[in-house]
Amino acid sequence: MGEARAVPVDEAVVCVHGLWLSGFATGFWRSRFAAAGYAAHSFSYATVRQPLKVSARQLAEFACALPQRRIHFAGHSLGAVLIAAMLAERDWRLPGKELGRIVLAGPPFQGSQVGQSLSRVGFGRMVLGHAIADWLDGPPPLVPAGVDLGVIAGTRPVGMGRIAAPGLAQPHDGTVRVAETRVEGSREHLSLPVSHTEMLMSARVTRQMLEFFAHGAFTR
């Protein structure tokens, strides 16, 4: 498995959290990646108050300031969207760094039925904030050839999204439909029996992330 691999000292993983959270939310991921030998970092950003492009620029600056040469990314939900937005803004390049592999967990890449339902009411759009609105109002960026990107979708239908969107189409993780996680140009797509929130605390998810960082493929 990926945890047994000897990781060069110049490889890092940047963990990016989702909506309404902070870098603290990716603490479990960070501990698992560090135990596997990576320099593990959490990136925090203002998920509601700040436009997506501003956060994308800050994420790129954060990654470029790290001492490690090769930078992998692990993003959850809106954090996955932010990673994609950052790489699109930077033409998929980080000056002075080598872009490693990327794993997106529960990304609402093809839009969000839950987000659209909430955005139809004033209060819902307010609590979703700028970043989600920016994402929903535009097309998803394409993943160009040569970028090693894997996607993990959840199929345990437990979460607040079922309240916001009672007709949420199965399969889903309680917030994001599996169909919404599809990323054109991704190398791999894997569904696991976890909920949207569970992804942040799942050893099964982090094992698969480590497999992808090490080998560019999930285990089946």
Sign of CA dihedral 73, 79, 81, 82: negative
- Of the segments 3-7, 73-77, 183-187, which one has the largest average pLDDT value? 73-77
What is the CATH classification number for the domain harbouring 131? Answer: 3.40.50.1820
The number of distinct structural domains making up the chain is: 1
Task: Output the pTM of the full model.
Answer: 0.90
If we measure between CA atoms, which residue out of 149, 141, 41, 135 comes closest to residue 89? 141
The answer as to whether 220 is a domain residue is no
Q: What is the pLDDT of residues 122-148, one digit of tens each?
A: 555 555 556 667 777 777 777 766 789
92 falls within a domain: yes
For 70, the domain range is 2-215
Distance separating alpha carbons of residues 107 and 105, to the nearest angstrom: 6
Tell me, yes or no, whether 21 lies in a domain: yes
| 62-117: pLDDT as tens digits | 999 999 999 999 999 999 999 998 888 766 678 889 999 999 999 999 987 676 66
Q: How much is the pLDDT for 220? A: 79
| CB neighbour class for 111 (10 Å; exposed up to 12, middle 13-18, buried from 19) | middle
Residue 155: helix, strand or coil by DSSP?
Answer: coil
Q: How many residues does the chain have?
A: 220
